[in-house]
Structure 1
Amino acid sequence: MEPSLLANGIQLSVAPVFLLTAVSTLISALAARLGRVVDRARTVEDWLAVHTTDSDAPLRRHLEDELPTLATRARLINITMTLLVCTSILIGFTILELFLGEFKAGQVLQLSRWVPVSFVGALGCFVVALLCFLREVVLATQALRIGQRPSHNP
């Protein structure tokens, strides 16, 4: 194998790694968001289990209304993370195809024709994941009630 071919293969396969880095950073941020949603849901559920008196009714209604929103947010984050993992897998395939395509040039195995398919698939998953993430952020923002919270909020 010629060193120039090896260098070219490495150069081609390294470019998508930057997108892979961005995707993994976004997955990490989403994992933190999911943790906060789960923690909030557990706090609300624990409070609802303990406080059953009529004096807690306004806050109870407020918190009962919050749980479906938290569940929807958790689902959106899970969908987003799934799409980002699919993006990462497809980017990994793209990197392998680019790298192995350099070594199989001229042989029966033509990996280069699959590069656009896997890369466009990765970008499609990435765009849909970003749209789901945007929806989750909008939902979280809409759920904010700054200055309108009932007293004794957990």
Structure 2
Amino acid sequence: MPFNAIASTIQSAVAPVFLFAGIGGILNVVGMRLSRSVDRVRAIEDLHSKSAGVEHHRYATELLLLERRIKHSNHATTLCVASALAVCLVVVFLFVSQMIGLNLGNTIALIFVLAMLLLAGGLIEFLTEIQIAIGGRRLHKEHMHQPDV
């Protein structure tokens, strides 16, 4: 494979590599939020088992919200990782196409579109997790202003 072809292929692979790095950043944020949710579940489960009445109900409600958040964070992680893997395939197919002289342009384009769709799905799941967290925060504030019965 001539040097010019290698250099051209590397230039073509730079954009997907930046995308890959961006997905890594998203995964870092989602992972941190997931970790915090799991830690919070552990803390609330202990309090829930020792509580009664209204307090017990509040903990149960928070646990349900946290489980929903964890589910959406997990889905976001799965979709973003799948997107990152598809981006890796794009880079691999760029090089394989150049090395063996096959025109894999349509395949590469389809995999790139798949990567974008997976990323979009992951971002939607991430946004859903954030909305649940905000809703849970509103619920927590409402309970703070209501007297215990």
Q: TM-score, normalised by structure 2?
A: 0.89
Distance 1:125 1:2 in 2: 35
Which residue does the alignment assign to 1:27?
Answer: 27
Which residue does the alignment assign to 2:116?
Answer: 123
Q: Which of 83, 86, 100 is equivalent to 1:87?
A: 83
- In structure 1, runs of 5+ residues without a counterpart are none
Query: How much has 1:138 moved relative to structure 2?
Result: 0.6
Give aligned pairs, total.
144
5 Å matches for 1:21-100? Answer: 21-52=21-52, 57-100=53-96
Secondary structure of 2:57 counterpart: helix
Q: Which residue identity lines up with residue 57 of structure 2 in the other structure? A: R
Query: How much has 1:149 moved relative to structure 2?
Result: 2.6
- Do structure 1's residue 137 and structure 2's residue 130 form an aligned pair? yes
- In structure 2, runs of 5+ residues without a counterpart are none
Secondary structure of 1:51 counterpart: coil
- Kindly provide the CA deviation profile for residues 7-45 of structure 1, in whole angstroms up to 9, marking residues without a partner as x: 001111121000100101111111110111111111111
Runs of 4+ in 1 over 6 A off after TM superposition: none
Q: TM-score, normalised by structure 1?
A: 0.87
RMSD after superposition: 1.7
Distance 1:49 1:150 in 2: 24
- Do structure 1's residue 114 and structure 2's residue 107 form an aligned pair? yes
> More helix per residue: 1 or 2?
2
